[in-house]
Homo-oligomer: A and B are copies of this chain.
Amino acid sequence: MKDVAKYAGVSIATVSKYLNGGNVLDKNKELIDEAVVKLDYQVNVMARGLKTNETMTVGIIIPSLTNLFFTTIVSKVENLLLQKGYSTIICDYREDEKLEKEKLNFLLSKNVDGIIMVPSCSEDNELINKVNKDLPVVLIDRNIEGVNCDVVLTDNINGSYDAVEQLIHRGHRRIGIICGPEEHYTAVERLTGYDRVHEDYNIARDKDLIRFGDYQIESGHQEIINLMKLAEPPTAIFVTNYEMTLGSIMGINELDIKMPDELSLIGYDNLQLAKIIKPSLSIVTQPMDEIGETAARLMLKRLKKDMSKHPAVYRLKSRIIIKDSVRKLNEG
């Protein structure tokens, strides 16, 4: 900037003011513009940060960088924040709660301006609340009891409810579900939807039909085999995330089960996959781009010190798409 000032024949203060949107004589504007181009001037983010106490950096913490659901959201967030000049430091904690805390501390030590995170299910609210006092925190996908920061969720309960209801409408009564880990936030919600629709339609639940996986491919594969090997297997199965959906399709192929004749299936999350599978797969899709967009906008708003409606809770709608993998059961 010193060089620019010298080249343009004005003071440093004038350059700084102009570059930050201040008013300057037209003559000087031109001079400075020219100098900036000529000298290829770039602001020193460190020096600016030292003064403004802002790093223009947002930390993102997710459970895994190899989970398509999270990385799709992160990709959206990253691109939106970058458009506003913000860097994102993306950390994954590999589903390890100890690592989660480490990454959080790391981001804090790097003086990020805000944090967007998908917390582990046992993350404690005190820590989050404490962090949230110093800088904006936006939670994604999972809420934490007693936490008072912004959060962007999907309506897992209704999504699950609607999916199972579609099966019921088509005459299914023995409906299996492959859930995520028993204490997991979204897993609990999705199971709740399944429970409620059974209650509402007065259908007794069979414990054997409710399986808990770990949201990984292999458990989807294993649990669908367990379900289909029951003495009285389900006529339809609802699988509650992408990885397990993938696994269950492998299982169906392995057992040579005809879909939808011998089994109706509704999967989760990946539209692309749904189109490729034959018969075309019915799924519940979460609006990943919208989730990312909402989280990014919310964060940008907070970064501008706009704390209106804090804490904000967004419940985005998931969408259910019924395709050929579901058939109507003949009564009797």
A interface residues, Cβ below 8 angstroms from B: 42-47, 49-50, 55, 64-66, 68, 71-72, 74-75, 78-79, 82, 87-92, 94, 103, 106, 108-111, 217-218, 221, 247, 250, 253-254, 272-273, 275-278
Cβ B88 vs Cβ A89 within 8 A: yes
Nearest Cβ on chain B to A242's Cβ, whole angstroms:
11
Cβ B87 vs Cβ A110 within 8 A: yes
Please tell me which one of the listed residues B64, B68, B79, B273 contacts residue A66 in the complex, with CB atoms under 8 A apart.
B68
- Give how many copies assemble into the complex: 2
Cβ B46 vs Cβ A50 within 8 A: yes
14 pairs, A vs B, C-beta closer than 8 Å: A42-B109, A44-B111, A45-B55, A45-B111, A46-B46, A46-B50, A65-B74, A78-B92, A79-B94, A82-B91, A88-B90, A89-B90, A250-B277, A253-B278
Residues of B within 8 A of A275 (CB): 218
Most chain B C-beta atoms within 10 Å of own C-beta, residue among A90, A253, A272, A275:
A90
Cβ B90 vs Cβ A106 within 8 A: no
Nearest B residue to A67, CB-CB = B71
Cβ B66 vs Cβ A71 within 8 A: yes
Cβ B65 vs Cβ A55 within 8 A: no
Cβ B218 vs Cβ A272 within 8 A: yes
Cβ A272 vs Cβ B88 within 8 A: no
Cβ A66 vs Cβ B75 within 8 A: yes
Please tell me which one of the listed residues B75, B254, B272 contacts residue A94 in the complex, with CB atoms under 8 A apart.
B75
